[in-house]
Chain A
Amino acid sequence: MGYTLNFAAVWRSFDLLLEGLALSLALAFGAILIGAVIGLFTAFCLISKNGFARRPAGIYVTIIRNTPILVLVLFTYFALPQLGFRLGKIESFIFTLALYSGAYLAEVFRAGLLSIPVGLREAGLAIGLTEMQIRTSIIAPLMFRNVLPSLSSTIISLFKDTSLAAAIAVPELTFEARKINVETFRVIETWIVASCLYVITCSILAALMRALERRLSVPR
């Protein structure tokens, strides 16, 4: 083989990778935050008895979950401007990932909502709470606790999906790594470092989610 590892060139550009990582985190954070709102709303629609709420929500989830995210990213960035809906690279990607995460989180939240005993809603009604008060004070907090383990893996998966923003030249971690690779020709070293950054970040995210789970766990 005769290939000698030399990380010097990659270290010289390490700050670029860190900047890329910061942008990846920002993209994920923004998209997941918006996606969580979309997901929660959609989840309530999915379990609604009202077909006018349930059917469109079902169609949205089906379409998004059955379309590759890269196709959605390219469609939003290249096709929507043709229809008069023009967004910058970063905004376009956040919009797409939010829509994408909304569909996945809706399924996570729906499962969480279904796991809550119907008696708790009735107990809320019996003391005179409105449906909205029951949702905000009882159902949503309990559902959130129930879904934390699966939410954790969805969030990590969505963070990794930010690497697809490289396809539309958003300067996140993968895009910066590719740039360093091209400029330094240190292919193996560049992608080892980029991979390590992804692994470390995902591990930290998982640890944070586990800590949140412990903090919010209901005493028994």
Chain B
Amino acid sequence: MPNHLLEIRDLHKSYGEVEVLKGVDCTMAQGDVISIIGSSGSGKTTMLRCINMLEEFQGGSISIDGEEIGYETVGGQRRRKKEKEIARQRALTGMAFQQFNLFPHMSAARNVMLGLMKVKKLSKDEARSIAEKWLDRVGLRSRADHFPGQLSGGQQQRVAIARAIAMNPRLMLFDEVTSALDPELVNEVLQVIKSLAQDGMSMLLVTHEMRFAYEVSNRVIFMNQGRIGEEGNPREMFHKPKSERLSEFLKTSSFGER
């Protein structure tokens, strides 16, 4: 049995000449809720996107439940796994995006059902019943047949979360899910995430909501210039930052303002 749900070892990622991740090491246990904080361009989102292979990475490894993601080593050569295998591995994680990315030509229910039918190969009726269950869970059962264009930003983000969770992922990735929302809609999304965390869902959250990160996480990672600058429990991190850089960052963040 592997000890860790997620294990990242010496992760390196570059865009051409620019190295964005410069050797990230991180482990995560089942049920952990980890917030990743840091200034823009520090590599938070890139790290998240590497975990579900939306970004290729040039060095290091990522494993979920001991299974190496995205790459394999054959005859001493590191090579990308086949697309079908990567698609299967991507379903081990669920992801909610900053811009929701709901399929605009499908109702809320169909958005949730698509993966269940195409990836999990469930029947339409089974998929519908699971979709309704999860839409109910995010408080949108009555909006199941509405299209994304008929929903508010907060509602769209909740549908997007339901779409990801319905696939029963081992780990949920949240990429700044409240950044594109009007302030009055932020709370409804955060409440959904909080309740999922309370249910024991393992989560990795990239967020600028410091107060939320403080309340919901059992661990916080501060990314700085492509490396993990500091990590620990939220109380230590937010009240007694060890590094000057984190201290400065917290002063300029929403946590520092309160």
Q: Which residues of A contact B (CB under 8 A)?
A: 117, 119-120, 122-131, 133, 137-138, 141-142, 145, 218-220
Name B94's contact: one of A117, A127, A133, A141 (CB within 8 Å). Answer: A127
Chain B residues contacting A117 (CB-CB under 8 Å) are 99, 101
Q: Mark B39-67, 1 if CB is under 8 A from A, else 0.
A: 00000000000001110000000000000
Query: How far is the CB of A131 from the nearest CB of chain B, in Å?
Result: 7
Known: A119-B97, A127-B91. A220 touches B83 (CB 8 A): no
Taking CB atoms and an 8 Å cut-off, the chain B residues in 78-104 that contact chain A are 83-84, 87-88, 90-91, 93-95, 97, 99, 101-104
Name the residue among A127, A138, A142 with the largest chain B CB count within 10 angstroms. Answer: A127
User: How long is the Cα–Cα vector from A128 to B104 in the complex, in angstroms?
Assistant: 19
Nearest CB in chain A to that of B166: its residue: A127
Nearest CB in chain A to that of B116: its residue: A127
Chain B residues contacting A129 (CB-CB under 8 Å) are 87, 114-115, 118-119
* Interface check B256, CB cutoff 8 A: no
Name the residue among A125, A128, A138 with the largest chain B CB count within 10 angstroms. Answer: A128
Name A122's contact: one of B101, B114, B149, B164 (CB within 8 Å). Answer: B101
B149 near A127 with CB under 8 A, answer no
Q: How many A-B residue pairs have CB under 8 A?
A: 76
What 5 pairs across the A-B complex have the smallest Cβ distances? A128-B91, A127-B115, A123-B101, A220-B149, A119-B101
Chain B residues contacting A123 (CB-CB under 8 Å) are 95, 97, 101-103, 160, 163
Chain A residues contacting B53 (CB-CB under 8 Å) are 125
Name B84's contact: one of A126, A130, A141, A218 (CB within 8 Å). Answer: A130
Known: A125-B90, A127-B114, A130-B84. A218 touches B167 (CB 8 A): no
Query: How far is the CB of A214 from the nearest CB of chain B, in Å?
Result: 14
Q: Mark B163-201, 1 if CB is under 8 A from A, else 0.
A: 110010000000000000000000000000000000000
Chain A residues contacting B84 (CB-CB under 8 Å) are 130
Q: Which residues of B contact A (CB under 8 A)?
A: 52-54, 83-84, 87-88, 90-91, 93-95, 97, 99, 101-105, 114-115, 118-119, 146-147, 149-150, 160, 163-164, 167
B90 near A128 with CB under 8 A, answer yes
Chain A residues contacting B163 (CB-CB under 8 Å) are 123, 127
Query: How far is the CB of B116 from the nearest CB of chain A, in Å?
Result: 9
Query: How far is the CB of A149 from the nearest CB of chain B, in Å?
Result: 16
User: How long is the Cα–Cα vector from A167 to B218 in the complex, in angstroms?
Assistant: 78
Name the residue among B52, B97, B105 with the largest chain A CB count within 10 angstroms. Answer: B105
Chain B residues contacting A131 (CB-CB under 8 Å) are 83
Chain B residues contacting A119 (CB-CB under 8 Å) are 97, 99, 101
User: How long is the Cα–Cα vector from A119 to B102 in the complex, in angstroms?
Assistant: 9
User: How long is the Cα–Cα vector from A138 to B148 in the complex, in angstroms?
Assistant: 14
Name the residue among A120, A131, A141 with the largest chain B CB count within 10 angstroms. Answer: A120
B87 near A142 with CB under 8 A, answer no
Name B115's contact: one of A128, A218, A220 (CB within 8 Å). Answer: A128
Known: A220-B147, A220-B150. A126 touches B104 (CB 8 A): no
Known: A128-B91, A219-B147. A142 touches B99 (CB 8 A): no
Nearest CB in chain B to that of A121: its residue: B101
Chain A residues contacting B160 (CB-CB under 8 Å) are 123
Query: How far is the CB of A91 from the nearest CB of chain B, in Å?
Result: 37
Name A218's contact: one of B54, B91, B93, B147 (CB within 8 Å). Answer: B147
User: How long is the Cα–Cα vector from A60 to B123 in the complex, in angstroms?
Assistant: 42
Name the residue among B104, B147, B149 with the largest chain A CB count within 10 angstroms. Answer: B104
User: How long is the Cα–Cα vector from A205 to B94 in the complex, in angstroms?
Assistant: 45
User: How long is the Cα–Cα vector from A220 to B149 in the complex, in angstroms?
Assistant: 5
